[in-house]
A and B are shown apart, each in its own frame.
Chain A
């Protein structure tokens, strides 16, 4: 059976309930689903309130890189069955998921936890998406730290 890969860069809210069935096969017995959620209150370093985040993407390259991450996951963990990688664009308000990585496999001890973790870490490294944070004191682009190697 084909292993489904769902890649989505969307300006609409996505619903967690609709995703899992799309990556569940008859052989699937485990799933790990990670979502990043827009946080309203940041209380550790640089404490602040967030009114909303505005995500911008270089769409064709972002989709290519999201697909590349799915390929990397399958190379590292060949037992993974389904993969979903979703990234929001546009304005996202606190309490709303902005990113999702989901992996399915036959059992939990197949590396799915690590695979989902790898997916979100990698998304933050190489997928050309940026966010501008708006708070009570104005707006500011958030800059990443990772510098991809040529061709990465």
Chain B
């Protein structure tokens, strides 16, 4: 197992009730494995699981990507910067 810090932004932060959490995850877990684990831990995320973006080390990650040890992980909704 490894301890990782996961950041949440926008409405996901509201669902989690916190900007970040530290959790134990198995070494070698993939992005989609981590999503499953988080939805289990935070059932609120179920309704947004298909639209969540995952960034690993500040890059958009693929579902099959393995979470690197000590990696910076962030979950957020599709971006909406700029103007309307």
Residues of A bordering B, CB below 8 Å? 36-39, 42, 55-58, 60-62, 64, 87, 98-99, 120, 123-132, 141-152
Is B60 interfacial (CB 8 A cutoff)? Answer: yes
Task: Say whether B58 contacts A130, CB under 8 Å.
Answer: no
Cα A131 to Cα B74 with chains together (Å)? 17
Residue from the list B77, B82, B84 in contact with A143, Cβ < 8 A: B77
Considering residues B7, B62, B79, which has the most beta carbons from chain A within 10 angstroms of its beta carbon?
B79
Q: Are B76 and A144 in contact (CB under 8 A)?
A: no
Count of residues in B whose CB is under 8 Å from the partner chain: 24
Q: Judge if B81 is at the interface, Cβ distance under 8 Å.
A: yes
Choose among B9, B11, B84 the residue that contacts A58 (Cβ–Cβ < 8 A): B9
A58 to B62, CA, bound (A): 19
Inter-subunit contact A87/B81 (CB<8 Å): yes
State which of A60, A130, A149 has its C-beta within 8 Å of the C-beta of B81: A130
A58 proximity list for chain B (CB < 8 A): 7, 9, 55, 58, 74, 76
Q: Is the CB of B58 within 8 A of A124?
A: no
Give the docked Cα–Cα distance between A59 and B69 (Å).
22
User: Is the beta-carbon distance between B10 and A130 smaller than 8 angstroms?
Assistant: yes
Please state if A129 and B84 are interface contacts (CB–CB under 8 Å): no
Q: B78 near A: Cβ within 8 Å?
A: yes
* Minimum Cβ distance to chain A for residue B28 (Å): 18
B82 cross-chain contacts in A, Cβ below 8 A: 36, 87, 98-99, 120, 123-124, 129
Cα distance A98–B81 in the bound complex, in angstroms = 9
- Asked whether A147 and B53 contact (CB < 8 A) given A36-B83, A99-B82, A128-B76, the answer is yes
Q: Which residue of B lies closest to A149 (CB)?
A: B60
CB distance B83 to A128 under 8 Å?
Answer: no
Would you give 29 A-B contacts (Cβ < 8 Å), ordered by A? A36-B82, A37-B83, A38-B83, A39-B83, A39-B84, A58-B7, A58-B55, A58-B76, A60-B58, A64-B58, A98-B82, A125-B79, A128-B9, A128-B53, A129-B79, A129-B80, A129-B82, A130-B10, A130-B81, A131-B80, A141-B14, A144-B77, A145-B78, A148-B53, A149-B60, A150-B59, A150-B60, A150-B62, A151-B62
Closest A residue to B55 using CB positions: A61
